[in-house]
Structure 1
Amino acid sequence: MTSLTRSRRAFWGDVRFLIGIALVVISIAGVWAIVSSSGRTTPVLQAHRTIVEGEALSSADFQAVDVSLGALTDDYLAPQDLKPGEVAARTLAEGELVPATAIATAESSRRTTIVVESGTGIPEDVSAGTLVDLWQAPPLPDGRGFDVPRILVSDVVIGTVVEAEGMLASDTAMVEVVIDRADVADVLAAITGGAALSVVPIGATP
């Protein structure tokens, strides 16, 4: 009886020993996998200029860089993932890695561009990607001057400054702005109605 008890204890001792060895092997394998994946790089796209929301994308707008993103790799755009007809779903800063959520098809985009003349010019620090408000001063009914300025469209993104940089703020300036398609009719109505338009950076006053 004593011999049988000792055999059982020896058996369970061997099992626990084997389980311990297996756990050590699994732990080492897990650590190796983490270290190995952390040192692995993947090519993803990086914007080499500021790209505004709604702008059509091409391979010339990006460069491929090798980065180590680990589990986040699939969240960013690889060179082979860029397809014709895609646009920026939001503004991408120069040097930014491109998230997969930052692109959209042209058909699904609600943004478009329109060129307006800012009667008060624009500050020198306003450039592509700057967030501004578009103000309007409607003409008075008698045609003698303009009414009190009011915001026409909020949170507009500057696409392009048409005039040369370095202009005085008192000069007029042509700018291309990125706006929601739903606001196009109001902007065109203001232009054709003779309103004085002004591009004003967020936080400033016209």
Structure 2
Amino acid sequence: MAVMISPSPRRAPGEQAPRAPRTFWTDARFFIGLALITVSVAGVWWVVAAARQTTPVLAASSTIVPGQAVTAADLAVVDVALGSAVDGYLAPHELEEGVVANRTIAEGELVPSAAVSSAESSAVTTVVVRSAVDVPGAVEPGTPVELWSAPLLDGGVYDDPRVLVADAVVGAVAREDTVMGASGASIELVVGRDDVAAVLAAVASGAALSAVPQAAP
């Protein structure tokens, strides 16, 4: 018995073969890729938006020295983008009355919350001394200095100078020119409370005092 085989239908010239139907996995890969692109775009947008988000904090309008009372007049409000680090800086609403600086805060520097404290808890205070020699022009408020003392001996001569306070900070300098042309200066120094007695004793005894800038580290 002969078996008849039907010939396959011929396609007209230019006619394409019929496409196989799409499978489920082909569609799944498309939607997974679309989801990944969406997540990536959203992540970039979030990063950019976070970088543009600013928070108001306080910055020093001029140099603030240790022990100086810190008020709104000494500060300026600036908007900065610090991210999570913003919690470490003083916000305008966090400034309290009666606070002083714990360390030198340079002009334009953002004020760390730890850089101020109540006056009662401050470990420093200010004293005014008369310099026996001219004060270098580079010495200005905020400059760290050593206070040297040459004790006055009998006969009006001075003993060898020695370091009286190793870590003082200049609060203010008042330079003067006398009629005879000699120059001098009164210096307001920020010193530790433990050093106040020694400084006042040196002043009372007539010792020659000099403020010398600390050597750079």
Shift, 1:178, TM fit: 0.2
Structure 1 residue 145 corresponds to structure 2 residue 157? yes
Shift, 1:33, TM fit: 2.5
CA distance in 1 between counterparts of 2:175 and 2:147 reads 18
Shift, 1:99, TM fit: 1.4
Structure 1 residue 111 corresponds to structure 2 residue 124? yes
Output the amino acid matched with 2:103. R
Larger Rg: 2
Q: How does 1:57-72 map to 2 (within 5 A)?
A: 57-72=70-85
CA distance in 2 between counterparts of 1:70 and 1:111 reads 33
Structure 1 residue 31 corresponds to structure 2 residue 60? no
Give the percent of matched residue pairs that are identical in Structure 1 and Structure 2.
Answer: 53
Contact 1:119–1:171 (Cα < 8 Å) also in 2: no
Shift, 1:176, TM fit: 0.5
Shift, 1:63, TM fit: 1.0
Structure 1 residue 193 corresponds to structure 2 residue 200? no
Seen in structure 2, the aligned counterparts of structure 1 residues 105 and 19 have a Cα distance that, compared at 3 Å, is farther
Contact 2:56–2:80 (Cα < 8 Å) also in 1: yes
Number of matched pairs: 191
CA distance in 2 between counterparts of 1:14 and 1:114 reads 81
Shift, 1:32, TM fit: 2.9
Q: Can you list the C-alpha shifts for 1:104-144, whole angstroms capped at 9, x where unaligned? A: 1111110100001111121122111111110000112x233
Contact 1:121–1:199 (Cα < 8 Å) also in 2: no
CA distance in 1 between counterparts of 2:37 and 2:78 reads 37
Contact 2:168–2:190 (Cα < 8 Å) also in 1: yes
Structure 1 spans left out of the alignment, 5+ residues: 1-9
Residue 3 (structure 1) aligns with: none
1:177 is aligned, of 182, 189, 210, to 189
CA distance in 2 between counterparts of 1:15 and 1:104 reads 61
CA distance in 2 between counterparts of 1:176 and 1:91 reads 14
Structure 1 residue 80 corresponds to structure 2 residue 80? no
- The root-mean-square deviation of aligned C-alpha atoms, in Å, is 2.6
CA distance in 2 between counterparts of 1:16 and 1:102 reads 56
Secondary structure of the 1:191 match is helix
Residue 50 (structure 1) aligns with: 63
CA distance in 2 between counterparts of 1:75 and 1:21 reads 41
Contact 1:130–1:201 (Cα < 8 Å) also in 2: yes
Structure 2 spans left out of the alignment, 5+ residues: 1-22
Normalised by the length of structure 2, the TM-score is 0.77
Seen in structure 2, the aligned counterparts of structure 1 residues 31 and 192 have a Cα distance that, compared at 3 Å, is same
